[in-house]
Amino acid sequence: MSDHDKTNVSPRGFAAMDERRRREVASLGGRIAHARGRAHRFTPEEARKAGQKGGSQISRNRKHMAELGRRGSTRDDVSDTPEDAWT
C-alpha cells in the first residue's frame, strides 16, 4: 500500500504548521540565503526580460488577447492554470 492509498495520514513538515509558522520559517530561509550569498536578486534588466518573456507567451493566444482588448481585462480573466491561457 502506498502513501497515496492511506486516508488517515496526518500532515507533516510545512503542511503540519500553521500559516504564521510557515511564513516565519520561509522568511528565515530567505534571509539566510541572502546572508550567505546564495540567493538571486534580479537586476532591473533581468526583471524586464522576464516580464517580456511572460508577456510574449501569453500574447501568442490572439483570440484571448482580442477578447481582452474588446471588453477590457478583469480579475476573472486570470486563469488558475497558466497553461489554459497559453493554448
CA dist., res. 14 & res. 23, Å (int): 10
CA dist., res. 78 & res. 80, Å (int): 7
Is residue 4 included in any domain, yes or no?
no
Domain count, the chain: 1
Q: Which residues have C-beta within 8 Å of that of residue 51, sequence separation ≥ 6?
A: none
**Number of neighbouring beta carbons within 10 Å of residue 70:** 7
Is residue 1 included in any domain, yes or no?
no
Q: Which domain holds residue 45?
A: 16-79
25-72: per-residue pLDDT in tens? 999 998 999 899 888 888 999 989 988 887 777 778 888 888 888 887
**What pTM was computed for the model?**
0.39
